């Protein structure tokens, strides 16, 4: 028989002490109540808080039978009790407790499941993030541009003459029908149009790289594909010289390929840079008659004054340099991959071999 029943039946003996004992018992019952199902919670509500027969409601009715000096304390005690019951009920309604699975349902002797296919990053992603990391440390920010371009951004603003062979169908993937009065739309053939877009959108100084995909209408072989990646670089400010360009590229090459990398910087031609130069690195090949060969990894040069004029920058005041490097080639050199097509076949046997370019 629970204590409060005795208490209810003998109003004559009502005392604060009894009330305290009863309240303690109720608290204990509230705390240990199992409120898993909705009907558990309804039964709890009726038992403790019900308007007619609820235990706590009933206790309140006892207060007038207590000695006068104890009534105030009794009121506080019962209010606290009612609050406790209400909060317990509310929180059980909000987050109904879940029945713990009984131990007998778990077979602790079963072997654990092993993750057999941990993901790995694509070698192009790895090479790209290493390249962007190096330039980030040298204070370059990152810019982006669209992969679909118009003739003006991809060629004209970059000082390509009207009849330049790169504008030809042989090299460019046009995505519109040619018509005499429409400028042509194409997949960008290089990341250099991002130079134009960023210079149009802001004011010098600029110091940025622009990584992204580029497209060319090329015959697919072990060394060329219709899609590949480039990282464009652009620095424009007062007093920028070719020495700044060469220094940046050499620092980059040593950071990417290692301190002992063998380099060659030789002159070249691009319509949008003057003078222009290409950077080659020496690739050791044991089966090559010369013990290896030079590989071109990037084109570069001082931004042509015509390009600065096209975007409204005064070439008398500002000078700049630009470079554009492929990503596939450095990745092929780094990982000793002999066929560019492997990057685009998504063969897990190939992809699973790459864990990261250390350093």
Nearer residue to ligand PHE within complex by CB, 172 or 300? 300
Residue with tokens 């046009």: 174
Provide, rounded to whole angstroms, the least separation between the CB of residue 232 and ligand PHE.
Answer: 6
User: How many Å is the Cα radius of gyration of the chain?
Assistant: 39
Q: Taking CB under 6 A as the rule, which mask of x and - marks residues 178-207 in contact with ligand PHE?
A: ------------x-x---------------
Q: Taking CB under 6 A as the rule, which mask of x and - marks residues 201-240 in contact with ligand PHE?
A: -------------------------------x--------
Q: Which stretch binds ligand PHE (CB under 6 A): 117-125, 242-250, 318-326, 351-359?
A: 318-326
Tokens coding 145: 């541009």
Nearer residue to ligand PHE within complex by CB, 14 or 300? 300
> CB–CB of 159/186 below 8 Å?
no
Verify binding: residue 299, ligand PHE, rule CB under 6 A: yes
> CB–CB of 309/315 below 8 Å?
yes
* Residue 311 burial (10 A CB sphere; 0-12, 13-18, 19+): middle
Q: Taking CB under 6 A as the rule, which mask of x and - marks residues 68-107 in contact with ligand PHE?
A: ----------------------------------------
- Where on the phi/psi map is residue 139: left (φ > 0), alpha (ψ -120 to 50), or beta? left
Which residue's Cβ has the minimum distance to ligand PHE?
A: 324
Q: Which stretch binds ligand PHE (CB under 6 A): 28-36, 50-58, 122-130, 316-324?
A: 316-324
Provide, rounded to whole angstroms, the least separation between the CB of residue 197 and ligand PHE.
Answer: 14
Tokens coding 53: 């027969």
Which are the contacts of 205, defined by CB distance < 8 A and separation ≥ 6?
235, 236, 237, 238
Q: Which stretch binds ligand PHE (CB under 6 A): 110-118, 169-177, 244-252, 321-329?
A: 321-329
Q: Are strands 227-237 and 319-326 parallel, antiparallel or unpaired?
A: antiparallel
Nearer residue to ligand PHE within complex by CB, 4 or 323? 323
Nearer residue to ligand PHE within complex by CB, 130 or 190? 190
Q: Which stretch binds ligand PHE (CB under 6 A): 85-93, 247-255, 286-294, 322-330?
A: 322-330
Which of 192, 187, 188, 228 shows the shortest CA–CA distance to 209?
Answer: 192
Provide, rounded to whole angstroms, the least separation between the CB of residue 158 and ligand PHE.
Answer: 8
Q: Which stretch binds ligand PHE (CB under 6 A): 39-47, 127-135, 202-210, 296-304?
A: 296-304
Verify binding: residue 300, ligand PHE, rule CB under 6 A: yes
Which are the contacts of 153, defined by CB distance < 8 A and separation ≥ 6?
145, 188, 193, 196, 197
Verify binding: residue 270, ligand PHE, rule CB under 6 A: yes
d(CA 309, CA 293): 39
Provide, rounded to whole angstroms, the least separation between the CB of residue 322 and ligand PHE.
Answer: 4
Which of 30, 62, 63 shows the shortest CA–CA distance to 47?
Answer: 30
Verify binding: residue 301, ligand PHE, rule CB under 6 A: yes
Give the chain's length: 359
State the number of binding residues for ligand PHE (CB under 6 A). Answer: 11
Exposure letters 107-132 (e unless 16+ CB within 10 A, then b): eeeeeeeeeeeeeeeebbebbbebbe
Q: Which residues of the shown chain bind ligand PHE in the complex (CB under 6 A)?
A: 190, 192, 232, 270, 273, 299-301, 322-324
């Amino acid at each position: 028989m629970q204590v409060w029943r005795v208490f209810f039946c003998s109003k004559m003996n009502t005392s604060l002490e009894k009330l305290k004992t009863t309240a303690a018992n109720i608290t204990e019952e509230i705390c240990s109540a199992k409120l898993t199902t909705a009907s558990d919670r309804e039964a709890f509500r009726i038992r403790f808080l019900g308007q007619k027969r609820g235990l706590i409601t009933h206790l309140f009715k006892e207060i007038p039978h207590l000695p006068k000096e104890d009534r105030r304390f009794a009121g506080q005690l019962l209010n606290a009790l009612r609050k406790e019951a209400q909060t317990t009920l509310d929180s059980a309604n909000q987050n109904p407790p879940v029945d713990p699975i009984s131990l007998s349902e778990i077979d602790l002797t079963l072997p654990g499941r092993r993750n057999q296919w941990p993901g790995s990053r694509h070698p192009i992603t790895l090479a790209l993030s290493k390249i962007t990391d190096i330039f980030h440390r040298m204070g370059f920010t990152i810019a982006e541009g669209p992969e679909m371009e118009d003739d003006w951004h991809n060629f004209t603003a970059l000082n390509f003459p009207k009849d330049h062979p790169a504008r030809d169908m042989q090299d460019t993937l046009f995505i519109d029908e040619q018509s005499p009065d429409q400028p042509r739309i194409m997949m960008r053939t290089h990341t250099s149009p991002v130079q134009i877009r960023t210079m149009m959108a802001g004011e010098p100084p600029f110091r940025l790289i622009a990584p992204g995909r580029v497209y060319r209408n090329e015959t697919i072989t072990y060394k060329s594909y219709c899609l590949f990646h480039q990282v464009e670089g652009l620095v424009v400010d007062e007093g920028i010289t070719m020495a700044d360009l060469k220094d940046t590229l050499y620092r980059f090459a040593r950071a990417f390929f290692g301190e002992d990398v063998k380099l060659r910087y030789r002159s070249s031609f691009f319509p949008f840079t003057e003078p222009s130069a290409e950077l080659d690195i020496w690739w050791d090949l044991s089966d090559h008659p010369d013990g290896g060969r030079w590989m071109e990894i990037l084109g570069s040069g001082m931004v042509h004054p015509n390009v600065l004029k096209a975007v409204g920058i005064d070439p008398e005041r500002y000078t700049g340099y630009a470079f554009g490097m492929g990503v596939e080639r450095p990745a092929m050199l780094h990982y000793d991959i002999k066929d560019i097509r492997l990057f685009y076949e998504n063969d897990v046997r190939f992809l699973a071999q790459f864990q990261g370019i250390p350093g």
